[in-house]
């Protein structure tokens, strides 16, 4: 018992004395199930010495280790990877890496090390090192003087394969680099070259490097500098040349390729090597491709070629697309240039190349400008009078329908941000592998016709920026489509006109983006055939409420409604969201930049917002408009609901009172009106009922009206009344003095005439009641 207590106290003492560092580090297993020590971002000033001796990788980046002292890693002889990036290291002592005979990867990049003064034996203990990154360290004080790289120091790394280092002005790579015969990748991470003091990269720059080098990266040189044409002669076996973002100009890049004529290369990355800052007679910003300029490049069998943003504005026939080995291409990128696409020759060359590149998987022909068809010009003599090309010129510019087949190997196809002046184009796909198609923000006279086979393997489709009324993608089944983007597609116009805007069936679609479409409503049947949607983006529209069709999306995980005009969430939607959470499904809802309202009317939504388990994206930053039209933070308003909404009950009773008073008025006023005009209403109803009954009974009357009058009125009736009624109005009336037949009993004759008259008219005079038949006729 005493021994155990002593051991416990000893352990505690060790931890108190030197164990604080290990307490800050954590452990994990890498893909090979080997132990990794994570000691980054701990403000260490020295290397922790009490870590597990079994660690395979130590990550010490982002610390404060100014000096790597001798034997700093002596306890970790099994370690194979050491990461010391951004640790403020300025000095490495000669035996700092002693004991690391198994180390294969060392990264000391982004520190303050002066590599020129590294001791000659600082890497002598790293006999098995394969990867070394000493880039982004201290800059030289005199940039225009020769920079002598520590060739003797590096010469001990005979097994080194990958070296990352900075490229300085007037570089001198001494004979010590000849020892690095296993070096296959040379990566200049940071570039400080520029066109000054007669500087240029000489043919002899890399003469001491191994001819076995396979990969050369000179990236990010954001100043123009000259290159001699024989720069790459010492790398005859080079497979990858990456000059991306280095402003060396395309003309120079093309000329240094002569060592690789009729050879195979894995990749040429010339992205953005021509910049607007370069614009001289020899190296203009506007690049014109000639046959002579392509004489080296066209002969190389290239797997991947990136010519994007290289300033190309035009090219001679049989130059840019005149590759001798198009079948070698796997990836071809020529986007973000200023290529013309208004002549049939250019179209045919590009299409012919695509057709012959039978193994190509990625083809990016995006962000290309074009001449606009039929532009309006100013008249130099009369600027206010616009005129167009003549009809004859227009006919010359019109192109026939172009048909071409996609290679069966194509997987990635992008034709975005293009202005096409083609009348029409037809694309056929046979046994296609096309999984990614992007034709967004392009302008078409007629959308290209795509055959049904083009969609069989499609997983990603982007038709953003093209009005849905223009898109003529076939109404077919896209069985594998998982992502659809239709932003800025003017869907609102299709909704307004009642037209269908989902023009295909995609049962497996997961992600849909219909943002920026000015949508104010969507029908209940929207996405009826897409039950598997998990991510729906309807942001930046004009929606005032959440469309109810979302309640049918049972697998929804993310709903983006930011940038709309939503004031609250109604009860039905809230209930659906809560059911989603109860069924153990997560839901991320984005309501950023909406017109949320905090008032008594939306109190139910506010209380729900505070209690629900739904995840709101940036929910703590939502604002709402109060009843006094001031903006407030939604969370803060909810936390003080009693204070902010204390008058809601009184307001509610006020509303109830108003409703009751309004209801009373609504009931009393009609009753008063009905009572005052009851006889007119009864007479009106009687007439309507009588006409319906007469119509249903098909009853025919001999007279339109029977006149009851006193004998003294006969003269006035015949002289004034009958001419008006019978003469002008065309009605037939019954007068007992004129129309009763003699011989019949008078009472019977009158009764029968009254029965055969549609209406009865009393002519009231002074002596009417004294007549012998008046009372009888009334009865």
Instruction: Judge whether 192 and 220 are in contact, CB under 8 Å.
Output: no
Phi, psi (deg, nearest 5) at residue 343: -110, 145
pLDDT at 649: 62
Q: Where are the alpha helices (DSSP H) in 627-677?
A: 634-639, 641-644, 648-676
Which sign does the torsion angle of CA 645, 650, 656, 662 carry? negative
Task: Enter the tokens of residue 665.
Answer: 């008025």
User: Does residue 494 contact residue 472 with C-beta atoms inside 8 Å?
Assistant: no
So what's the pLDDT on residue 236?
A: 96
pLDDT for the residue 699: 61
Can you give the C-alpha Rg of the chain in angstroms?
A: 45
Per residue in 67-102, pLDDT (tens digit) is 999 999 999 999 999 999 999 999 999 999 999 999
Q: According to the model, what pLDDT value does residue 8 have?
A: 42
Whether the CB-CB separation of 244 and 270 falls below 8 Å is answered with yes
pLDDT at 394: 40
Taking the alpha carbons at both ends of the chain, their separation in whole angstroms is 132
Q: Which pLDDT does position 7 carry in this prediction?
A: 38
Is residue 396's pLDDT more than 60?
no
Strands (E), 51-176: 57-59, 67-68, 81-83, 91-92, 105-107, 131-133, 147-148, 162-167, 171-172
**pLDDT reading at 424 higher than 80:** no
User: What pLDDT, on a 0 to 100 scale, did the predictor assign at position 415?
Assistant: 83
Per-residue pLDDT of 179-216, as tens digits, reads 999 999 999 999 999 888 889 999 999 999 999 999 99
**Number of Cβ within a 10 Å radius of residue 603:** 17
Residue 169 has pLDDT above 70, yes or no: yes
What beta strand segments (E) does 154-276 contain?
A: 162-167, 171-172, 185-191, 200-201, 215-218, 226-227, 240-242, 264-269
Task: Pick the closest to residue 705 from 745, 735, 749 (CA basis).
Answer: 735
How big is the CA angle at 449 (ends 448 and 454), to the nearest 5 degrees?
110
In this prediction, residue 375 has a pLDDT band, given cuts at 50, 70 and 90, of low
Q: What is the structure's pLDDT at 395?
A: 40
pLDDT band at 556 (very low <50, low <70, confident <90, very high): very high
C-beta of residue 291 within 8 angstroms of C-beta of residue 322: yes
Q: Is beta strand 623-625 parallel, antiparallel or unpaired with respect to 631-633?
A: antiparallel
The 10 Å Cβ neighbour count of residue 537 is 21
Local structure of residue 169 (DSSP, 8 states): S
How many whole angstroms separate alpha carbon 702 and alpha carbon 276?
102
* pLDDT for 692: 67
Instruction: Indicate the pLDDT class of residue 398, thresholds 50, 70 and 90.
Output: very low
662 pLDDT tier (thresholds 50, 70, 90): confident
Among residues 283, 313, 402, 416, the alpha carbon closest in space to that of 354 is found at 402
Looking only at Cα atoms, what is the longest distance across the chain?
155
153 has pLDDT over 50: yes
Dist. CA 726–CA 730, nearest whole Å? 5
**Pair 270, 297: CB distance under 8 Å:** no
Task: Give yes or no for a contact between 444 and 466, defined as CB atoms under 8 angstroms apart.
Answer: yes
- Whether the predicted pLDDT of 666 surpasses 50: yes
Closest CA to 477 of 431, 508, 433, 437: 508
Q: What is the pLDDT of residue 341?
A: 54
Confidence of residue 693 (pLDDT cuts 50, 70, 90): low
* Sign of the Cα pseudo-torsion (695, 698, 702, 707, in order): negative
Cα 51 from chain centroid (whole Å): 47
- Report the distance separating Cα 541 and Cα 520, nearest Å: 7
DSSP at 749:
H
Predicted pLDDT of residue 723: 87
**Does residue 230 or residue 756 have the better pLDDT?**
230
678 versus 235: the higher-pLDDT residue is 235
Q: Encoding tokens for residue 359?
A: 């193994």
**Residue 694, pLDDT score:** 61
SS3 state of residue 306: strand
- 34-48, 237-251, 347-361: range with lowest mean pLDDT: 347-361
pTM: 0.73
Percent of the chain with pLDDT strictly greater than 70? 85
Decide if 757 contacts 734 (C-beta within 8 A): yes
pLDDT at 235 over 50: yes
657/680 Cα distance (integer angstroms): 35
CA dist 637 and 654 (Å) reads: 24
Nearest residue to 428 via CA among 447, 401, 403: 403
Q: Is 13 exposed, middle or buried (0-12, 13-18, 19+ CB in 10 A)?
A: exposed
Give the dihedral sign, CA 192/197/200/203: negative
Most confident of 54-63, 639-648, 719-728, 735-744: 54-63
* pLDDT computed for residue 752 by the predictor: 79
In which band, very low, low, confident or very high, does the pLDDT at 618 lie, cut at 50, 70 and 90? very high
Helix (H, G, I), strand (E, B) or coil at 406: strand
Q: Is the pLDDT of residue 621 over 60?
A: yes
Do 373 and 395 contact (CB within 8 A), yes or no? no
DSSP 418: B
- Sign of the alpha-carbon torsion through 770, 774, 778, 779: positive
Average pLDDT, the chain: 85
What pLDDT sits at residue 498? 79
CA trace torsion 16, 18, 21, 26 (10° rounding): -80
pLDDT per residue over 24-74, tens digit each?
Answer: 899 999 998 999 999 999 999 999 998 999 999 999 999 999 999 999 999
List 305's β-bridge partners, or say none: 268, 332
Give the residue-averaged pLDDT of 274-291. Answer: 92
347 touches 317 (CB < 8 A): no
**Mean pLDDT along residues 102-119:** 95
| DSSP letter (8 states) at residue 448 | P
The answer to whether residue 473 scores a pLDDT higher than 70 is no
pLDDT higher than threshold 70 for residue 474: no
**Mean pLDDT computed over 445-465:** 81
DSSP conformation letters of 700-746: --SEEEEEE--GGGHHHIIIIIHIIIIIIS---EE-HHHHSPTTS-H
């Amino acid at each position: 018992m005493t021994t155990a207590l002593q051991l416990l106290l000893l352990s505690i003492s060790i931890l108190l004395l030197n164990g604080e560092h290990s307490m800050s580090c954590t452990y994990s297993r890498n893909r090979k199930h080997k132990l990794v020590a994570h000691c980054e971002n701990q403000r260490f000033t020295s290397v922790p010495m009490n870590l597990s001796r079994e660690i395979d990788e130590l990550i010490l980046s982002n610390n404060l280790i100014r000096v790597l002292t001798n034997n700093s890693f002596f306890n970790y002889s099994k370690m194979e990877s050491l990461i010391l990036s951004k640790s403020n290291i300025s000095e490495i002592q000669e035996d700092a890496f002693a004991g690391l005979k198994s180390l294969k990867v060392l990264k000391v990049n982004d520190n303050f090390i002066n590599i020129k003064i590294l001791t000659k034996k600082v890497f002598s203990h790293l006999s098995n090192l394969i990867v070394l990154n000493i880039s982004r360290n201290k800059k030289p004080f005199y940039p225009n003087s020769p920079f002598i790289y520590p060739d003797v120091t590096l010469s001990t790394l005979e097994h080194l394969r990958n070296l990352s280092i900075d490229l300085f002005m007037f570089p001198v790579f001494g004979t010590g680099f000849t020892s690095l015969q296993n070096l296959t990748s040379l990566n200049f991470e940071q570039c400080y070259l520029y066109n000054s003091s007669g500087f240029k990269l000489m043919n002899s720059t890399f003469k001491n490097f191994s001819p076995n080098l396979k990969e050369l990266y000179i990236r990010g040189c954001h100043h123009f500098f000259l290159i001699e044409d024989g720069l790459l002669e010492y790398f005859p076996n080079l497979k990858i040349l990456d000059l991306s973002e280095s402003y060396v100009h395309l003309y120079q890049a093309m000329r240094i390729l002569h060592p690789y004529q009729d050879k195979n290369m894995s990749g040429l990355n010339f992205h953005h090597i021509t910049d607007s800052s370069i614009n001289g007679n020899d190296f203009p910003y506007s690049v014109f491709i000639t046959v002579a300029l392509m004489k080296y490049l066209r002969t190389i069998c290239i797997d991947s070629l990136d010519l994007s943003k290289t300033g190309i504005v035009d090219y001679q026939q049989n130059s840019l697309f005149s590759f001798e080995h198009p079948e070698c291409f796997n990836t071809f990128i020529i986007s973000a240039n200023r290529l013309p696409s208004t002549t049939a020759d250019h179209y045919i060359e590009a299409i012919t190349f695509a057709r012959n590149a039978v193994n190509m998987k990625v083809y990016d022909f995006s962000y290309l400008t074009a001449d606009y068809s039929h532009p309006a010009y100013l008249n130099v003599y009369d600027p206010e009078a616009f005129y167009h090309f003549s009809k004859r010129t227009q006919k010359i510019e019109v192109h026939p329908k172009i048909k071409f087949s996609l290679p069966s190997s194509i997987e990635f196809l992008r034709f975005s941000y293009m202005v096409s002046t083609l009348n029409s184009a037809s694309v056929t796909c046979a046994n296609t592998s096309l999984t990614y198609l992007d034709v967004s923000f392009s302008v078409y006279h007629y959308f290209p016709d795509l055959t049904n086979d083009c969609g069989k393997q499609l997983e990603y489709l982007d038709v953003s920026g093209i009005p849905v009324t223009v898109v003529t993608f076939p109404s077919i089944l896209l069985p594998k489509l998982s992502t659809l983007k239709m932003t800025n597609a003017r869907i609102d116009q299709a909704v307004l006109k009642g037209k269908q805007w989902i023009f295909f069936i995609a049962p497996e679609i997961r992600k849909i983006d219909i943002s920026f479409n000015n949508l104010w409503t969507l029908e209940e049947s929207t996405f009826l055939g897409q039950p598997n949607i998990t991510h729906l983006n309807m942001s930046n529209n004009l929606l005032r409420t959440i469309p109810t069709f979302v309640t049918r999306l049972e697998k929804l995980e993310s709903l983006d409604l930011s940038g709309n005009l939503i004031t609250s969430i109604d009860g039905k939607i809230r209930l659906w969201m809560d059911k989603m959470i109860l069924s153990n499904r997560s839901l991320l809802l984005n309501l950023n930049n909406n017109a949320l309202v905090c008032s008594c009317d939306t109190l139910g939504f506010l209380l729900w917002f505070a209690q629900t388990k739904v995840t709101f994206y940036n929910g703590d930053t939502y604002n709402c408009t109060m009843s006094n039209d001031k903006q407030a933070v939604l969370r803060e308003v909810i936390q003080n609901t009693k204070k902010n909404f204390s008058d809601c009950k009184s307001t509610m009773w006020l509303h109830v009172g108003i409703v009751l008073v309004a209801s009373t008025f609504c009931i009393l006023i009609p009753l008063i009106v009905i009572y005052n005009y009851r006889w007119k209403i009864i007479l009106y109803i009687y007439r309507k009922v009588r006409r319906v009954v007469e119509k249903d009974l098909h009853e025919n009357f001999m007279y339109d009206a029977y006149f009851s009058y006193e004998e003294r009125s006969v003269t006035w009736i015949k002289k004034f009344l009958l001419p008006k009624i019978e003469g002008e109005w065309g009605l037939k009336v019954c007068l007992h003095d004129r129309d009763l037949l003699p011989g019949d009993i008078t009472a019977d004759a009158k009764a029968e005439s009254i029965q055969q008259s549609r209406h009865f008219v009393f002519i009231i005079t002074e002596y009417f009641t004294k007549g012998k038949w008046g009372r009888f006729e009334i009865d």
